[in-house]
Amino acid sequence: MESLTDASLQALSLLVSGDAALWKIISISFGVSLQAILFTTPVALLTAYALAHFQFPGRRTLISLFHTLLAVPAVVVGLTLYLLLSRSGPFGDLKLLFTQTAMVLGQIILSFPILVAMGHSALQSADHRVWETAHTLGATPLRAMFTVMHEVRYGLFAAVIAAFGRIIAEVGCSLMVGGNILNYTRNITTAIALETSKGQFAQGIALGMVLLLLALVLNYSLSTIRHRLAMQA
């Protein structure tokens, strides 16, 4: 077994040399997660706004449900989606299992409750005068909603960053519904799992470095946002 130092040096060399296989895996990972977050964000934020702004029967239950869903393991989402998309499942005819679309669907399911729960908290913290000010100055309910969202934008950005961090780092769901197919559904996390099981650590470490770098960037962004929020308060 290669030493950790050797493996790390090889990993750096792979990253710097622009190894095609490695960068393909990275691009698949980012492509799938970005698609998922782009599809989820508008719907989730609208849901969060509805939960924060309107009173309707079952509202509290829904909020509790979204908070509960935050704790659902990715592998459980993967299993459920696998059963739904497998040939014998209700959506088997769509032939989506082991495709990037299935991975996107899985990540949508994972990111939705995070965006709703965190978005709801941010929107609920909005000053009630924002909505009244927007309305009295002639904004339609839709424009007033965008104004409220703009006023709590740092909280909403934090929700998007947290959701993106969660889905790009998840392995269970992508492995089960993506199938870890080279150059198609193999992403950073599933590749790390595979390379580690084969005892080839260099690529795994290189991919791990990318994830660590991403975590660093996301955390830095979150701390900047928190600082802005503190300034705003």
Partner 1 sequence: MTSIPILLIRHVTKRFGERVLLSIEEFIVTEGSCTLITGDNGSGKTTLLKIAAGLVNPDQGKAVIGGVEIPWTKARPRIRRDVVYLHQDPYMLDTSVERNVAYGLRFTKESREKIYEKVADALRWARLDHLAHRNARWLSGGEKQRVALTRARILNPTVLALDEPTANMDQQSRISTYQLIDELRNEGMAIIVASHDQTGLAPIADRHMQLIGGKLVKVESVVRRGKIPIVTRFPR
Residue 95 near partner 1 by CB under 8 A: no
Residue 169 near partner 1 by CB under 8 A: no
The alpha carbons of the chain give a radius of gyration, in whole angstroms, of 20
State in angstroms the smallest separation of the CB of 133 from partner 1: 5
Question: 49, 123 in Cβ contact below 8 A?
Answer: yes
- Sorted by sequence, the CB contacts under 8 Å of residue 51 that are 6+ apart come out as 59, 62, 63, 66, 116, 120
Residue 223 near partner 1 by CB under 8 A: no
3-state SS, 34-75, equals: HHHHHHHHHHHHHHHHHHHHCCCCCHHHHHHHHHHHCCCCHH
Q: Choose, by CB under 8 A, the member of 24, 53, 67, 135 that binds partner 1.
A: 135
Calpha distance 195→134 (Å, rounded):
55
The amino acid occupying position 205 is: I
Contacting range for partner 1; rule: CB under 8 A; set: 37-45, 80-88, 131-139, 174-182: 131-139
Return the number of other C-beta atoms located less than 10 Å from residue 46's C-beta: 14
State in angstroms the smallest separation of the CB of 169 from partner 1: 32
Name the residue nearer to partner 1 (CB basis): 77 or 145: 145
State in angstroms the smallest separation of the CB of 134 from partner 1: 8
Q: Choose, by CB under 8 A, the member of 18, 58, 138, 199 that binds partner 1.
A: 138
Is residue 87 exposed (0-12), middle (13-18) or buried (19+ Cβ within 10 Å)?
exposed
Residue 199 near partner 1 by CB under 8 A: no
Contacting range for partner 1; rule: CB under 8 A; set: 13-21, 111-119, 127-135, 175-183: 127-135
State in angstroms the smallest separation of the CB of 143 from partner 1: 6
Contacting range for partner 1; rule: CB under 8 A; set: 48-56, 130-138, 204-212, 219-227: 130-138
Residue 59 near partner 1 by CB under 8 A: no
Residue 129 near partner 1 by CB under 8 A: yes
Residue 218 near partner 1 by CB under 8 A: no
H helices of 54-127, in order, are: 59-69, 74-85, 100-124
CA atoms within 13 A on the CB side of 87: 0
Residue 232 near partner 1 by CB under 8 A: yes
Calpha distance 119→202 (Å, rounded):
39
State in angstroms the smallest separation of the CB of 39 from partner 1: 28
Q: Which residues bind partner 1 (CB under 8 A)?
A: 127, 129-130, 132-140, 143, 147, 150-151, 232
